Amino acid sequence: MRFLRRSLMGLFLLAATLGLLSYAGQSVYSALQVRWAKETTPRPARERVFAVNVVQVQPQSVIPVLTAFGELRSRRTLDLRARASGPVVALHPDFEEGGRVQAGELLFRVDPHAAQSSLDVVRTDLAEAEAELRDASTALGLGGDELAVSQDQAALRAQALERQKNLLERGFGSDAAVETAALAAAAAQQAVVARRQALAAAQSRVDQARTRLERQKIALAEAERDLADTSVYAAFSGTLSEVGLVEGGLVTNNEQVAQLVDPDDLEVSFRVSTTQYARLLDDAGALSAAPLTVTLDVFGAALTAKGRLTRESAAVGEGQTGRLLFARLEGAKGFRPGDFVTVAIDELELHDVAVLPAAAVDAAGTVLVVGADDRLEVEKVELLRRQGDNVILRAPAIFGRLVVAERSPVLGAGIKVRPVRPQAAAEEPEEPEMVELSPERRAAMIAFIEGNQFMPEEAKKRVLGQLTQDKVPARIVERIESRMGG
């Protein structure tokens, strides 16, 4: 047993020694390989060439489009106010929210009995004033006649006095006769003075009667106006809004009962920056009548209308910046005051400019141009406008050359590239994705659209027409379901 145990121990020690020697040899060989690899001569690295998308720059004339957001409002909005107090005795059949009325139609009438009674009293007073004027005029005429008679009598008395004086001078008369004639002449003159006073009083009475008549005419006009104020008529054709009146209700003077809005005469108000405002000025420094397009996106069925700039606000406004502009719309079907819309204004045309992708220009206003030996060069450009994903540049130095369409951090001056030119034929536009709807899903969407009170009728008909088709555009389905909460 002792021999066997010692033999096994010897074999174990021999195996361990051989294993350690093998591990040591492998370590030495690995170290030598690493050293040999470091001592080998390095091979020269090859230049890396990047493939880049390029576009060829051509000079062209472009009409930039300035985009802003605005709100529609009616150019004619009238507050309907009660001009008399009392109960409402008559009301237009369509006097309700959204009711349509025509110009000249009776909107409502307040009880006119009190105004009619006042008018009748004023007419009676006017007739009395006219009679008084006639009486005063007659009295004035009679006073004039009496004055003429008194003047004739005074003239006769004066002649009798002269005759008695002549007789006294000839010795045929007496002093008593002369005194009697003198007293008669004096009495005649006194009668003339009295008649003149009576005539003046008659003239004053005529003036007072005429003044009273004019006052009564003014009172009659006021009474007629008060009676007319009991009835309110539509000044123009339009739609009623903010209605707060029912037949039989009581109204007070100057109480606002509704608003009359003309939905067919619309304008849009929008704010632009001072820089954008400067681009819309003509050579004389006045706001140009630039054409524009207004868009209202309703569940994918966009409503559009054309218009032109008309005016600008007189002041900037406290806490505001830029300019508030107004544009009148033409043929704005389906739009309503209060709609929030997108406004696209055509600016003045720019000549000899280039249109490039926005990714081609960096923050320093430079582009990368493919130069000799397909190496990149940096060129300075003048950025004029940003139009969505494109930019409008003024850079005559790069006309006819290839420009990198999409810059990346690895590209720079001197880098060798492999230009990838755009395809000659334009790709056909992708058709919108269409989906099929289940009957339950389609019915839910149709019910939601029909029950939407804020959607214009024209857009509602267009969307309902698309929902009734076998296949419906996926983007419209997504937008409707996002508003349904589905």
3-class SS at 57?
Answer: coil
8 A C-beta contact, residue 403 and residue 362: no
**Average confidence (pLDDT) over 332-358:** 89
Tell me the pLDDT tens digit for each residue of 209-242: 889 989 999 999 999 999 998 999 998 998 998 8
Q: Residues spanned by CATH 2.40.420.20 within the chain?
A: 352-420
Strands (E), 17-98: 50-56, 60-62, 65-74, 77-82, 86-91
Contact 377, 54 (CB under 8 A): no
182 pLDDT more than 60: yes
pLDDT at 425 (0 to 100): 34
173 contacts 164 by C-beta, under 8 angstroms: yes
More confident residue, 70 or 469: 70
Q: Quick check: helix, strand or coil at residue 114?
A: helix
**Lowest-confidence range among 37-51, 233-247, 377-391?**
37-51
3-state SS assignment for residue 266: strand
Instruction: Dump pLDDT digits (tens) for 306-342.
Output: 999 999 988 887 888 889 999 999 878 888 888 899 9
DSSP state of 229: T
373: its two tokens: 């030996």
pLDDT in tens, 97-149: 888 999 989 999 999 998 999 999 989 988 988 888 888 888 888 888 888 88
Beta strand 266-272 pairing with 301-312: unpaired
Report d(CA 379, CA 420) in Å as an integer: 20
Query: From 3.30.70, 2.40.30, 2.60.40, 1.10.10, which CATH number describes the 266-346 domain?
Result: 2.40.30
Contact 387, 353 (CB under 8 A): no
* DSSP-derived secondary structure letter, 359: G
Residue span(s) of the chain under CATH 1.10.287.620 come to 114-228
pLDDT of 38 reads: 60
Residues of each domain in the chain carrying CATH 2.40.50.100: 76-112+230-261
Class of the domain covering 114-228: mainly alpha
- Residue 408's beta-bridge partner residues? none
The Cα–Cα gap between 114 and 203 comes to 38
Give 85-100 pLDDT, tens digit per residue: 889 998 999 898 888 9
Look at phi and psi of residue 388 and say left if phi exceeds 0, alpha if psi is from -120 to 50, else beta. Answer: left
**At residue 327, what are phi and psi to the nearest 5 degrees?**
-140, 140
CB atoms within 10 A of CB 361: 20
| 352-420 belongs to CATH 2.40.420.20 | yes
Tell whether the model's pLDDT for residue 290 goes beyond 80.
Answer: yes
Provide the strand spans (E) within 243-370: 250-251, 255-261, 266-272, 291-298, 301-312, 323-330, 340-346, 350-357, 366-370
Architecture of domain 76-112+230-261: Beta Barrel (2.40)
pLDDT band for position 45 (cuts 50, 70, 90): low
pLDDT of residue 106: 92
Most confident of 281-285, 319-323, 325-329, 398-402: 325-329
Please, where in the chain does CATH 2.40.30 lie?
266-346
Q: How many residues does the chain have?
A: 486
Rounded Cα distance, 260 and 79, in Å: 6
Least confident of 63-72, 123-132, 148-157: 148-157
CA nearest neighbour of 433 among 469, 474, 468, 463: 474
Q: How many CA atoms lie within 13 A of 272 on its CB side?
A: 25
- Answer yes or no: are the C-beta atoms of 448 and 437 closer than 8 Å: no
Mention every residue, 6+ apart, whose C-beta is less than 8 A from residue 428: none
pLDDT at residue 427 greater than cutoff 50:
no
| Mean pLDDT rounded to a whole number for the chain | 84
